[in-house]
Structure 1
Amino acid sequence: MEFGFGQLFKWSERRNLYAPVVVSANYLVVAGLLALYALSRGELAVDDRTLQLGLVTGTVFICSMLAMTRALTLVKASAVLTAFRLALVVPTAVSALVWNEPLTELQAAGALLALVALVLMTRDAGALLHLGNMRNLALVLLVFCLQGTSLTCLRWVQYAGIGGDQPKFLMVTGLVAGGWGALYLLVNRRRPQKSELATGAGIGLYNLAALMVILTALSQVPGTVFFPMMGCTVVVLDNLAARFLWKERLSPATLAGIALALAAICITL
């Protein structure tokens, strides 16, 4: 699901659409659809715990996406995307150290192998070592931290005791993220184009399904296993799409990373 989400954004980028509009529209569509669903069931009321976690998560989500889109205009894309993908280290570590989630020796080996595979599969990952100045380094680290926090918030849902209230949590999250995004556009006096809104709406439909699948998976699988495996699977599919859909060449390191990723998935599962 996350793979398709990334490919849709890549498609919108190639059409030269303004990313903050697409991102904001995406979140507002998620919120709108879930609000209609709740209204149809007469269950629109949201409890305080769900509201608070949704406020935090929505704010972190939009900050993460805006930071990434901003970074992509200033820093080499490979460095930004490497930081974005490797951010799954954060929720994996939090799951193990804060929530004491179980991790067998075999799963730990698989998770470590998955992280190595991620570095190899992320094309030109060495760009992280050649950012040029401290401002660029700080921006890339900000992307890493915000994306890691976003994923951690999704894991937090189960421990906050709102696992059974996922639609309302996502509704608040989408409304807050979309609201902050709209404010960003207003401050920057950027008028959305119809094509940008339509693309954002389409991505929002897909994103809603992806988020529901992720939250459901996290209710069944420890974060220490889920996040490394999700990262590996997504990047494997990203690289295959780059080769066969976007006609990009894969380096030997990337091919080795794909092989390691598949091995990591087999070991962990």
Structure 2
Amino acid sequence: MLWLPLASLLSFGFGQLFKWSQRRGCHAPTVVSTNYIVLSSALALALGSQGNLQVTDTALLVGACMGVSFIVSMWTMTRALERAPVSIVLTSFRLAILVPVVASVALWGESLSLLQSAGIVLALTGVALTTQTSTPHKYSGIWALLAAAVVVFLTQGMSQVCLRWVHYAGLDAQHLVVLMICAAVAGGIGSGIVVLGPHRPQARDLAMGSAIGLYNLLALAVLLTALSQLEGTRFFPAHGCLVVILDGLFAHFIWREPLGRLATLGICISAASILLVL
């Protein structure tokens, strides 16, 4: 059970590092791409030096799918934030925990009790409430908002399904190899997007991306270890709620962002849902 809070804490830390990089004016696509390239390179050097750099067909398939889903999820969320209110985008992003839960039951036959189902409903309610904001945003029409919400929900959800797939593909012992392939694919696609774009990478973007990449290596390795020991129906709702709680408290007390009544209620509901899910 220790792996769940540790994975949640590291996931929370990754989000805070990325938020800090944005506050420093770093170029997000460059930071994300550099993060994946450094992660992949570090793993390739470590595995190669230990003689464990053996890539099976299954690891290549799962890793490549993960890499594509990761970079597509990040790119669609970034684009959605340019076109829709932050509250809608973040709500869709966080509610995406429902996708791997459904996949865990439908594809891999995991069990889901009535109490856990109630906990998941509470979890979805809690994470939705924590992202409500009155921040104004100019956008074009309800259909544009709906499209943005659905795309973010599905792409983020699929990236989490791929994380769960590692265990059921029998790759727990090779999860570092899978991560290396995932990061190489995501970094390659992301770098292509950056190169074709108008922005030219700056030294601070590369430095920040490199630091986040080394941190992300540890965060994803711990997350996959946690998923190898916990059912997805338990892990994803609890993990999502723990991260939401930490995000809300950190934003209020460290970033000095106001925490409204709905967000406070959402944090309380999220905390209660964890007890039911587990």
Q: Shorter-chain TM-score category?
A: over 0.9
The residue aligned with 1:149 is: 158
Alignment partner, residue 27 of structure 1: 36
Which residue number corresponds to residue 237 of structure 2? 228
The partner residue of 1:76 within 85, 88, 93 is 85
Give, in whole Å, the separation in 1 of the partners of 2:117 and 2:152.
26
Structure 2 residue matching 1:43: 3-state secondary structure:
coil
Structure 2 Cα separation of the partners of residues 205 and 138 of structure 1: 34
What is the 5 A alignment of 1:1-269? 1-124=10-133, 132-269=141-278
Would the aligned equivalents of 1:79 and 1:124 in 2 still touch at CA under 8 Å? no
Residue by residue over 1:145-183, the C-alpha shift from the partner in whole angstroms, topping out at 9 and shown as x without a partner, is 111000000001111111110000000000000000111
Counterpart CA distance in 2 for 1:46 and 1:36 is: 14
Aligned partner letter, 1:201: S
User: Shift of residue 131 of structure 1?
Assistant: 6.7
Name whichever of 230-239 and 184-193 sits farther off. 184-193
Q: Post-superposition shift, 1:125?
A: 9.3
- Closer, same or farther in 2 for the Cα pair 1:108/1:66, shift >3 Å? same
Gaps of at least 5 residues in structure 1 are none
AA aligned opposite 2:109: N
Q: For residues 129 and 32 of structure 2, what CA distance do their matches in structure 1 show?
A: 28
Q: Percent of aligned positions with the same letter in both sequences?
A: 48
**Structure 2: distance between partners of 1:72 and 1:110:** 29
- Give the distance between the partners of 1:258 and 1:75, measured in 2 at CA: 24
CA shift for structure 1 position 61: 0.6
CA positional deviation for 1:88: 0.9
Alignment check: 8 A CA contact 2:237 2:277 kept: no
Q: 2:141 aligns to what SS in structure 1? A: coil
Q: Deviations over 1:239-260 (max 9, x none)?
A: 1011001111111111111111
Using the alignment, how far apart are the partners of 1:244 and 1:197 within structure 2?
29
Q: Which stretch has the larger CA shift, 195-204 or 252-261? A: 252-261
150-159 or 69-78, larger mean C-alpha shift:
69-78
> Once the 2 structures are TM-superposed, how far is the Cα of residue 20 of structure 1 from its aligned partner?
0.4
Matched residues in 1 for 2:149 and 2:118: separation? Answer: 28
TM-score by length of 1: 0.94
Unmatched 5+ stretches in structure 2: 1-9
Amino acid at match of 2:35: N
Cα shift readout 1:32-55 (whole Å, capped 9, x = no counterpart): 111011111122231111011111
Cα-Cα RMSD: 1.9
Tell me if structure 2 keeps the 8 A contact 1:87–1:144: yes
CA distance in structure 1 between the partners assigned to 2:152 and 2:16 by the alignment: 19
Q: Distance in 2 between matches of 1:90 and 1:27?
A: 24
CA contact (8 A) 2:120 2:277 kept: yes
Residue 248 of structure 1: SS of its match in structure 2? Answer: coil
Q: What letter corresponds to residue 30 of structure 1 in structure 2?
A: L
SS in 1 for 2:201: coil
